[in-house]
Every structure is written in C-alpha cells, then in structure tokens.
Amino acid sequence: MWGQRSNFVGLPTDCPQRDERLGWSADAQVFWRAASYNMDLTAFSRKFSGDLRATQVGTAMFGIYAPGTNLINPGYGTGWSDAGVVIPWTSWIQTGDRAVVDQNWDAMKNYLAAIHEANPDYLWKKNYGIPFADWLAPEGVTPVDLIATAYWAYDVTLMKQMASATGRTAEAAEYGELFGKIKEAFVKAYTHPDGWVGGVPPPPVFASGTQTSLAGQPVETQTGYVLAINMNLVPESLRKAAGQRLADRIAANHGQLGTGFLGTPYLLAALTDTGHLDVAYHLLLDTEYPSWGYLVEHGATTMWERWNGDQMRKDPSMNSYNHYAYGAVADWVYRYAAGIDTVSSDAGFHTIYLHPNFSDALGAVNFSYESRYGTIRSEWSVEGGKASWKLTIPANSSGRLPAAVADGLRLDGKELAGNPRVHVMHDGGETVYEVPAGSYAFEATLK
C-alpha cells in the first residue's frame, strides 16, 4: 500500500526516489490487479492505457514505459509491452468497465497482429524486443522466447474474454482459435510427455540473477513452469505433473522461490491450482532469502526491487527500496487466500467467484473489498483442524462456489447440496453452488 501510494501519482512510476521515475509497464501490469483491489483505479487505468497507446509511434508495439519521451517509442519487450493488453483487461475484469476495452481495442488488436505477422509459426521468437526475461530472478535466465510465447498466449486469452464481453463475437472466435494454435506450438516446443517444461536460453543481455546454465543447453526454471501453468499452456493431462515438477524445483532450492518480476506474480496461484497449497503458504510466510518475509525482517516498509536489496547497497544505480512489483502477491492473498474473485462472464464482482483456501499455517484472514455493489467480506479462521468462514455478499450481486470448494463446507449445520439457502447450478457442465446476497457462516474440516 505504501509503495502504491507513493508511486501512483499521475502515472504508475516504478519507484519515486531515484532518477528513473518512469511508468515502467511490466512493473505496472504485474501489480495492477492487486492495486485494483487496494484502490479504485477505473479512471487511472483509462489514463495510463492512453499513455501506453501513445507509445505506438511508428510501430504497433507498446513501449516499455509510458508516457514515452520525445514523442518516440521507448523500445518494447515481452512482459513489458503486454501491459497494453493486461491493464485494460484488468480494469474491465475488476470493474466491469467496458469503455476501457473499447478505447483500447484497436491498439491491442494491432499489437497482437504485429506479433503474429512476425511469428507465423505461433512461437514468439522474432521481434520480441529487449530481452529483459524474468527480470532479477535469483534462479537465473528463463528462455525469452518461452516467456514471450506464454505472454502472447495470455494476451490472446484476455482478448477473447474482452471480445465476448463487448459483443465482438467473431473476434472472440478468432482469438480462441489463435490460442489453440499457440498452445499447440508451445507444447511441441517447450514441454515433454513427463511434464517437463523448458527451453534454450540465449546469452543474457541483462544481468538477471545468476546464470544457471550454459547458453545452448535446455534449462527448466520455476518461472517457465509458472507461466506455462498459469497461461494454460500445459495439456490438462500434464498439469499435475508440471505442478509437481515446479514444487520439486522449489524443494531442491531449499524450499525457496527463484522467480523474478514475471514469474513471481503467478507463482502461488500456479502452485495452488496444481494441488500444492502447502508450498504456496510456505513461500508466503517464509522469512529466509529470497522471500517477502525476508524483506520485512530486514526493515522493509515498502517492496524492494531486488530480493537481496540489502546486499546490493554498493550498486545504488540499480537498487531500489520502493518498487511495488513483488507486491503483486497481494493479488493471491485477496483472490486465493480470502477467496474473493471475479468471472469473465460477469465482470466487476456482479458475480463473485468464491474460492478461499483455508490454512492453519496462516491461521486467519479478514478481508473486505468495496465493490461497486457494496462491501464484500471474507473472514476465516482455523483452529483444531476446523475452519470457520464468515461471508458477506452485497445487494444485487451473488457468489458462486465451485464444487471442489463446496465439498466439505456446511452452512447452518447442513451440507450445501440440498441446503435451502444455496442454489445448485450447472455452468459449462460443472456444478456450482450460488449464494444470493446476504451474510453466511460456513464451517469446514480441513482435509
């Protein structure tokens, strides 16, 4: 929150204190969803999206920061330029504001068309711009083309959702088809039948942690697994195996994360979605380097740019103690720990997707979010293997629990199936439990 308050002034600067102070787009896009929970960014999102559009000078590519300087494109790079798609999508999914989609549609469409034109084989290996890779990852360099292809696929997924929401039916179908082709190419190029995910990194241009492999040799990294899982690029039959390999890499790294600017925001979600909630909570609460707890225990009052910022004092030109990017972990706390999430079919918390993850390691959560429909509240505590969860759904909205979450929950002493306060629905062949506006007190036994 302190990092956001001191950086979100006119534009989302990466840091407020050194001579850089620019609207770096990767820092912004990875943090934007967490930031949208913290503050109402509806107008700010429209403004910064406009700044990003303005960097498309003589090119369809969004700049690595915005506004650009001297009315020229400041250069582009995968994970950075993708902010031109990610930020409008985030604003829409959080608020239901379709205007931000319409304002940026042509710019986003042109950006993705330029990527496709340069990469007709559906692997983003050409014209991916400045190879920042997974910036400042302790584990080392993740192949840039793997990152680029994963982000291309992610952008296309977001475009399909926005197209569906705004009545662009034909384009939604086109982006759905394009995603399928990118995924097929990704699977062939970067995965093995045993769930292995990796690629061949080029010689690093920017020092991004310690290089762990020789150029030309295939490598796997935590970030490679995280992006493949989060961007839905691992075949369903291999998701569990890929998730296990991610957990194994963390275990082999003494239980420590090894991700940088692009891998960290999705790390805990990738672990949770593949059945490794215990590892996610371990990383969240860890205090050894590198971790969020390490920053706190070493005096941090805002997020650092480097996990080891305290060890890099001799390099003030490339070290910041107020860089909010790693604060993206708050997104996981809000959406996964507290369980208050959105759905693309009904954005803006009109329909609230509920998927709390109870844990005796954390012990308790008390989260409130001021949505456009009123206060959404999720408060839970765990004691003696039992979870108590208090939930408030505001007027004119509803909550939906997937069957996997509803299994084991009890409301008023009764299971959800057949409970008079809960409606059973079927969405895309899956059973979901709908709870209307109101206050609820659930109980569950931890598995």
Instruction: Return the bridge partners of 432, or none.
Output: 402, 425
For residue 337, give the DSSP letter: I
| Tens digit of each residue's pLDDT (9 = 90 or more) over 382-427 | 999 999 999 999 999 999 999 999 998 999 999 999 999 999 998 8
Question: What tokens were used for 85?
Answer: 């798609």
Residue 432: predicted pLDDT: 95
Q: How confident is the model at residue 195 (pLDDT cuts 50, 70, 90)?
A: very high
| Tens digit of each residue's pLDDT (9 = 90 or more) over 237-265 | 999 999 999 999 999 999 999 999 999 99
**Residues of the chain with pLDDT > 90: what percent?**
88
For residue 191, give the DSSP letter: B
Q: Give the CA distances from residue 410 to residues 61, 78, 139, 405, 441, in Å, rounded to whole numbers and listed in that order.
A: 51, 45, 43, 11, 9
Closest by Cα among 25, 2, 264, 320 to 13: 25
pLDDT at 72 over 80: no
Mean pLDDT of the 328-352 span: 98
Residue 194: predicted pLDDT: 96
Q: Do domains 2-337 and 344-445 have the same CATH topology?
A: no
Helical H segments across 133-210, by residue range: 144-165, 169-190
Residue 319: predicted pLDDT: 87
Q: Cβ atoms within 10 A of the Cβ of 425, count?
A: 11
Pairing of strands 351-354, 386-402: parallel
Active site residue 370: no
Helical H segments across 39-139, by residue range: 42-53, 83-95, 99-118
Residue 207: predicted pLDDT: 43
pLDDT at 215 over 80: no
pLDDT at 15 over 90: yes
3-state secondary structure 345-379: HHCCCCEEEECCCCCCCCCEEEEEEEECCEEEEEE
Burial class of 141 by CB neighbour count within 10 A (0 to 12, 13 to 18, 19+): buried
Mean pLDDT of the 320-335 span: 97
Residue 211: predicted pLDDT: 42
Q: Cβ atoms within 10 A of the Cβ of 288, count?
A: 11
Closest by Cα among 237, 163, 230 to 194: 237
Residue 49: predicted pLDDT: 98
Residue 416: predicted pLDDT: 94
| Tens digit of each residue's pLDDT (9 = 90 or more) over 115-168 | 999 999 999 999 999 999 999 999 988 999 999 999 999 999 999 999 999 999
Residue found by looking up tokens 């409970």 in the block: 419
Mean pLDDT of the 354-371 span: 97
Task: Quickly name the fold that domain 344-445 has.
Answer: Maltose phosphorylase, domain 3 (2.60.420)
For residue 410, give the DSSP letter: E
Q: How far apart are CA 225 and CA 238, in angstroms?
A: 11
Q: Concatenated DSSP letters for 291-331?
A: SHHHHHHTT-SS--SSTTGGG-TT-GGG--S--GGGGGHHH
Catalytic residue among 20, 171, 434, 443: 20
Q: How confident is the model at residue 316 (pLDDT cuts 50, 70, 90)?
A: low
Q: Residue 290: CA atoms inside 13 Å, Cβ hemisphere, count?
A: 22
CB 24 within 8 A of CB 32: no
Domain boundaries, the chain: 2-337, 344-445
CB-based contacts of 324: which residues, under 8 Å, 6+ apart? 3, 4, 7, 27, 31, 35, 302, 303
244's enclosing H/E stretch is helix 239-252
Active site residue 383: no
Q: How confident is the model at residue 208 (pLDDT cuts 50, 70, 90)?
A: very low
pLDDT at 362 over 50: yes
Instruction: Return the bridge partners of 376, or none.
Output: 369
Residue 47: predicted pLDDT: 97
CATH value of 2-337 in 1.10.10.10, 1.50.10.10, 1.20.120.520, 3.90.950.10: 1.50.10.10
CB 38 within 8 A of CB 90: no
Find the range with the poorest average confidence among 70-74, 281-285, 287-291, 401-405: 70-74
CB-based contacts of 211: which residues, under 8 Å, 6+ apart? 140, 141, 204
Length of the chain as a residue count: 447
pLDDT at 206 over 50: no
Catalytic residue among 171, 305, 430, 443: 305
For residue 137, give the DSSP letter: -
Closest by Cα among 180, 273, 179 to 225: 273
CB 274 within 8 A of CB 242: yes
pLDDT at 202 over 70: no
Burial class of 431 by CB neighbour count within 10 A (0 to 12, 13 to 18, 19+): middle
Four-point Cα dihedral 161, 367, 326, 115, nearest 10: 0
**Average per-residue pLDDT for the chain:** 94
Find the range with the poorest average confidence among 16-20, 132-136, 297-301, 435-439: 16-20
Q: How far apart are CA 248 and CA 177, in angstroms?
A: 33
Find the range with the poorest average confidence among 104-113, 194-203, 392-401: 194-203
Residue 212: predicted pLDDT: 44
| Tens digit of each residue's pLDDT (9 = 90 or more) over 85-103 | 999 999 999 999 999 999 9
